[in-house]
Amino acid sequence: MNTIGQLLRITSFGESHGPFVGCVIDGYPAGLTVDVNSMQHQVNRRRTGQQSFASGRNEPDVIKIVSGIFEGKTTGAPICILLDNQDARPSDYDALKDVYRPGHADFTYEAKYGIRDHRGGGRSSIRITAPLVAAGELALQILKKEIPIKVKAYVSQIGQVSLTSAYQTLDLENIDTNDVRCPDGPTAAQMQNEIQAAHTAGDTLGGCITCVIQALPPGIGSPVFEKLQAALAHAMLSINTVKGFEYGSGFLSAGMKGSEHNDAYRMSKNGIQTKTNHDGGIQGGISNGMDIYFKVAFKPISSISLPQTTINHSGVETVLNIEGRHDACAVPRAVPIVEAYTNIVLADLYLQHKYSKI
């Protein structure tokens, strides 16, 4: 299963060191003028930010749209997006081909498939998200055609440094003003120090990303197995290194009383709203028109510079030393991935909603 979505179906393919990574987007409506620059911009955002990914690899990441667009407009045919793997250096990975790296998927892929493309993580590489980030931006363009939606993700925790302010107090236009993609300047500086210290120590850090969806109309999502929060959780837990998801008051709601937590409805000049928003804009699996917000936890990436004891695939204990430049924290670069996957979920559920009444 390498496909996400019901009406807007996106199928991922490619490995870290094959000729291309790519995806096919099926079910995209015809007649929409595509903004390819925005797609490329998001792909660029994924590539940049605080330090590069583990490999120190340098890819221009120029998207090629192979199909489904004619004279700048979508035709209703499937849209295939490709990105070259130009800087693939498969031989760099020869030393790792028999070792089960701690925290990585080396052992589990072998257990499942009996075979593993060890070069740069193969299919488990975060590189496969590059075309999906382009697809996410394309998905957003469906929504933007019809509603003034905003989807903004930012880094709210790196290691021990947390941004505790509510998203409403932050200026979400500031997210890309610093390398850690944290909209609060002083916290961003602390996060950068934290990452620098980890880097110096040869270690890595995890963190959290908060995502806010604004101006989604009521009615998106559905009651049972296509609940909006379930689709979001599924998408977020599909991102490598994600360990947790909560929306609205999340885990804190477990300690609240019903009388505290219930969001009372009221009339406002913008129509029906709730006084509080502990439910994070979703009730019964369906959006209620309030802001949707959720938080995603990322573990530290597993490729550290410090020596680690593990075993190889013959079961022999071995000490692993990963050489070369390493990446101390991947969370800032996951921001456009979180946004892209959110956009994919929202566009799919939005299209589903279109035929829910007659």
Query: d(Cα 341, Cα 159) in Å, to the nearest integer?
Result: 24
**First-to-last C-alpha distance (Å) of the chain:** 32
- Output the smallest distance, CB 5 to a second copy, in A: 9
Q: Rule CB under 8 A: say whether 309 interacts with a second copy.
A: yes
Give whole-number Cα distances, 2 to 161, 165, 224, 255, 339, in Å.
35, 37, 23, 37, 19
Specify the residue for token string 């850090």.
205
Q: How many residues bind a second copy (CB under 8 A)?
A: 151
* Given 126, 298, 332, 336, the residue binding a second copy (CB under 8 A): 298
**Part of the chain binding a second copy (CB under 8 A), chosen from 45-53, 168-176, 177-185, 285-293:** 285-293
Residue closer to a second copy, measured from CB, 168 or 265 = 265
- Output the smallest distance, CB 338 to a second copy, in A: 14
Query: d(Cα 279, Cα 272) in Å, to the nearest integer?
Result: 15
Residues 182-241 that bind a second copy (CB under 8 A): 198, 203-208, 217-227, 229-238, 240
Q: Rule CB under 8 A: say whether 168 interacts with a second copy.
A: no
Q: Compose the 11-40 pattern: x for residues touching a second copy by CB under 8 A, - for all others.
A: xxxxx--xxxxx-x-xx-xxxx--------
Residues 75-104 that bind a second copy (CB under 8 A): 75-80, 100, 102-104
CA 192 to chain centre: 21
Q: Compose the 107-146 pattern: x for residues touching a second copy by CB under 8 A, - for all others.
A: xxx-xxxxxxx----xxx---x-------------x--xx
Query: d(Cα 93, Cα 272) in Å, to the nearest integer?
Result: 57
DSSP state of 23: E
Residues 238-267 that bind a second copy (CB under 8 A): 238, 240, 242-251, 253-259, 261-267
Query: d(Cα 343, Cα 323) in Å, to the nearest integer?
Result: 37
In terms of Cα–Cα distance, which of 83, 65, 80 is closest to 25? 80
